[in-house]
Chains A and B, each alone.
Chain A
């Protein structure tokens, strides 16, 4: 078990230098400023970007030459893959927590009031940004960004391990295309009255009073899915040669 945190550190030390490259810091400062002065939702977007930077770049670097490095390191083969998936979750989860904390801080400080708002319309906009509902929405967005990023990254990595990197384009097409095809199918069936209409309450209707529970459930479920995908991927990966 000690090997998984080591592998997570390895992934972090590999990708963290990339965050200071290619103008990303300026973009990050802009988003952070937007988060404090305009809308806390900007933090969710910021940490989504950082997630992409820390996770996607690792995939790119790894693909080039890490097979040899993995072959040298004193670590079980399966723990290399497990560590990678745990890293995805850790980065996503930390991003979510930072997004929530900074959103709360932004809400408490309300720095936007120091901006030179000039007309009625802008005043309304400012008040909307610092409405409690806006804070709830910001937290919601942080949780959703984390859920979607971690879920799709884990799913994508697992499919890469199963079908091989040479099928990368097909896998991306599959991940993007499948939900679209299903949605299109439902729309067509619905438009033609081919599926019965069932009146159900919107999930929000009964989750609203328990937002916090919903957030916790989303986190736990994405952790479970990541571990499951990681386990499947590691068993496939361990059978391959480096």
Chain B
């Protein structure tokens, strides 16, 4: 499979935070959910892809082009949506188009107008006066108007109501019908990822904790519950986010360890949300221990 996005060994250090050896790839024709708690490094990774942040080491390739030296060519074929409105708030949709159109070789005014109509966006009202959902839609319209091959969305669903979130996911679903396209979709709302993503990359504390298909992820981990006394020797160290209650315990366990688990312990499939929660719990445990 040809990759539309490839990140290899990306390192970036800021005061109090660093991205460590980030590597993952997104094949053409798929949606990747880019998941992690707040401050895990999702936005910094996206800023690095867009050449807005300078890499300390590593490389990023988009459409097979280098993200630093070929940034202009990449951005001609890239659509980006941020979590907050990045356009001049005093401008209306028509004025936004006039502003952006000269930069894109493939800008399609008819398509932009069609999207405004489909999304029910007025073209004479300042975009700063739009609701949160409408702001997201105008950014989507601007991101799609030049027919990009890859869309990068940085937490687009945060603060959106369920209807607007659903509409956004539908738009992404339609966009990806062309198998030469790709979507990188950063969020901490994992229900969205469960619904539309084919691939998942989980960032935790500036490191890639998991990258692969969504199915692999949900098969790779399970939630284990039961009496702590039933945990076989050697398994305790492999449990993630172990939490003891008055009547038992629960923890995340790698799927490969399930064969060593006695029948007295229950296990069930873990959702992405649960996986994130157990990773965070494990972290807190380490902090307490140290």
Contact = CB atoms under 8 A, between A and B. Distances in A.
Interface of A: 6, 9-10, 13-14, 17-18, 21, 61, 64-69, 71-76, 241-242
Given A6-B102, A10-B103, A13-B98, A72 B53 contact: no
Contacts, number: 69
A235 B103 CA distance: 22
A75 B88 contact: no
State the main secondary structure of chain A at its contact with B. helix
B80 A72 contact: yes
Interface string B90-110: 111001001110111000000
A22 to B, nearest CB: 11
A65 B52 contact: no
- Residue of B51, B54, B86, B104 with most chain A CB atoms under a 10 A cut-off: B86
Chain B contact residues (Cβ within 8 angstroms of A): what range?
20 to 34
Contacts of A72: 50, 75, 78, 80, 86
A70 B71 CA distance: 12
B90 A17 contact: yes
Contacts of B98: 13
Given A71-B50, A71-B52, A74-B72, A61 B90 contact: yes
Interface of B: 47, 50-54, 71-76, 78, 80, 82, 84-92, 95, 98-100, 102-104
Chain B CB within 10 Å, residue with most, of A6, A10, A14, A72: A72
Contact of A14 (B84, B85, B86, B88): B88
Contacts of A64: 89
Contacts of A9: 99, 102
Given A65-B88, A68-B52, A242-B53, 16 more contacts: A9-B102, A10-B99, A10-B102, A17-B92, A18-B90, A65-B87, A66-B88, A71-B52, A72-B75, A72-B78, A72-B80, A74-B71, A74-B72, A241-B53, A242-B47, A242-B52
